[in-house]
């Protein structure tokens, strides 16, 4: 377990993985968050769709 706390990069990676798991758990267990993030209420989805569908 010492490996994860040896370097700043390892601690950052562990922090990001923990945050991602927490966010997925939050979305999976909270119906309001699920509707917001997966139901189109999240503004970033509009930007992603615009980028994907806009041809340059």
3-state helix, strand, coil in the chain (%, to 5): 80, 0, 20
**How many Cα atoms within 13 Å fall on the side-chain side of residue 52?**
6
- DSSP 8-class letter at 17: H
pTM of the model: 0.51
Q: Rounded to an integer, what distance in angstroms lies between the CA atom of residue 38 and that of residue 18?
A: 21
First-residue to last-residue Cα distance in the chain: 48
Q: Rounded to an integer, what distance in angstroms lies between the CA atom of residue 31 and that of residue 34?
A: 5
The model's pLDDT over 20-48, given as tens digits with 9 standing for 90+, comes to 898 888 877 887 777 777 776 666 666 76
pLDDT on residue 46: 65
């Amino acid at each position: 377990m010492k490996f994860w706390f040896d370097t700043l990069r390892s601690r950052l990676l562990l922090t990001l993985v923990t945050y991602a798991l927490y966010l997925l758990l939050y979305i999976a267990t909270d119906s309001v968050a699920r509707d917001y993030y997966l139901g189109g209420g999240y503004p970033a989805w509009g930007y992603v769709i615009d980028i994907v569908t806009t041809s340059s």
